Amino acid sequence: MATGFDLQHYNRVAGFLDLSGDSTPCGLMYDTRVVCKSAATRDTVLARLIALGPAIETSGLAKNGAILTWMAFASQDHDNDARIFARFRDKTGLDAYNRLSAVLEFWAVGKENDIDKIEQRGYVENGKGWLHR
């Protein structure tokens, strides 16, 4: 699976890999690349991602297994890039995550001054591998 997301080029700044520890398979993976306006604004975005991590981890969605993985990363190659990688049990989990007040606040606060663009890609399991959309 070629995602353009090579972990050797990123540092983890926040989040959790497998909160339950039971390697539950996911129904949906979501990769979000955040391109910030500058290195300084990326630092601001990373600070907000670090603050967002515990809110995601302690949310009911993570505790009930709707969110299986949520991790934030800083690019080593580009000083204005950040990444969010998440695994969800199903689309319902993704939709509920997108409605969390902490997530809505994160995007609302940074959209005007800090974030230049956002690239997103979802992956769904189709029985033969992962189909990206």
Q: Which pLDDT belongs to residue 129?
A: 65
Q: Which pLDDT belongs to residue 47?
A: 98
pLDDT at 16 over 70: yes
Answer whether residue 3 is part of any domain: no
Answer whether residue 59 is part of any domain: yes
pLDDT at 128 over 90: no
- Mean pLDDT across the stretch 7-34? 91
Q: What is the Cα–Cα distance from 22 to 33, expressed in whole angstroms?
A: 27
Q: Are 95 and 35 in contact (CB under 8 A)?
A: no
Answer whether residue 132 is part of any domain: no
| 26 sits in which H/E element | none
Answer whether residue 36 is part of any domain: yes
Answer whether residue 5 is part of any domain: no
In the chain, the number of structural domains is 1
Q: Which domain holds residue 63?
A: 10-18+26-124
Which pTM was predicted?
A: 0.89
Answer whether residue 131 is part of any domain: no
**Which range is least confidently modeled, 51-60, 78-87, 91-100, 124-133?**
124-133
Q: Are 88 and 68 in contact (CB under 8 A)?
A: yes
CB neighbour list of residue 118: distance below 8 Å, 6 or more residues apart: 32, 33, 34, 35
Answer whether residue 55 is part of any domain: yes
| 103 sits in which H/E element | helix 101-110
CATH code at position 63: 3.30.70.100
Both ends of the chain: CA-CA distance in Å? 13
Q: Are 92 and 33 in contact (CB under 8 A)?
A: no
pLDDT at 4 over 90: no
